[in-house]
Amino acid sequence: EPEVTQTPSHQVTQMGQEVILRCVPISNHLYFYWYRQILGQKVEFLVSFYNNEISEKSEIFDDQFSVERPDGSNFTLKIRSTKLEDSAMYFCASRGTSGGEYNEQFFGPGTRLTVL
């Protein structure tokens, strides 16, 4: 069964460093999302991406964040200068379309980002 994959599973970085989190969505899906969950808090929406551009972004998704679909299969989230409060589990999700119906989002296993 097709699934969303994410790498790495765990990333440890120093404050101020840049990180790139990678996701491979399900191949025929067209909508892509990034979420994060800080330990003990709700899952938070970061950004959605469709047709090679950002569709919507949250207040969290400031100039330090960017997303890219560099090669038609990968979907990346870059954090330019990490802060301690960026430590969280980051989830990628993708959604397809089927006969014009609204379909569910499929989640990857997540990347645990730890900023020291």
Residues numbered 67 to 106 that lie near another protein (CB under 8 A) are: 91, 102-106
Rounded distance between C-alpha atoms, residue 110 and residue 9, angstroms: 6
Q: Is 85 helix (H, G, I), strand (E, B) or coil?
A: helix
User: Does the protein bind another protein through residue 42 (CB under 8 A)?
Assistant: yes
Phi, psi (5° rounding) for residue 58?
-90, 175
Residue from 31, 64, 65, 69 touching another protein (CB under 8 A): that is 31
For the bound state, the minimum distance from the C-beta of residue 55 to another protein, rounded and expressed in Å, comes to 4
Residue from 30, 43, 73, 116 touching another protein (CB under 8 A): that is 43
User: Does the protein bind another protein through residue 38 (CB under 8 A)?
Assistant: no
User: Does the protein bind another protein through residue 4 (CB under 8 A)?
Assistant: yes
Return the number of other C-beta atoms located less than 10 Å from residue 60's C-beta. 14
Rounded distance between C-alpha atoms, residue 58 and residue 43, angstroms: 13
Q: Compute CA distances 95 → 25, 44, 108, whole Å.
A: 9, 17, 12
For the bound state, the minimum distance from the C-beta of residue 49 to another protein, rounded and expressed in Å, comes to 9
Residues within the interface to another protein (CB under 8 A):
4, 31, 33, 35, 42-45, 48, 50, 55-56, 58, 91, 102-110
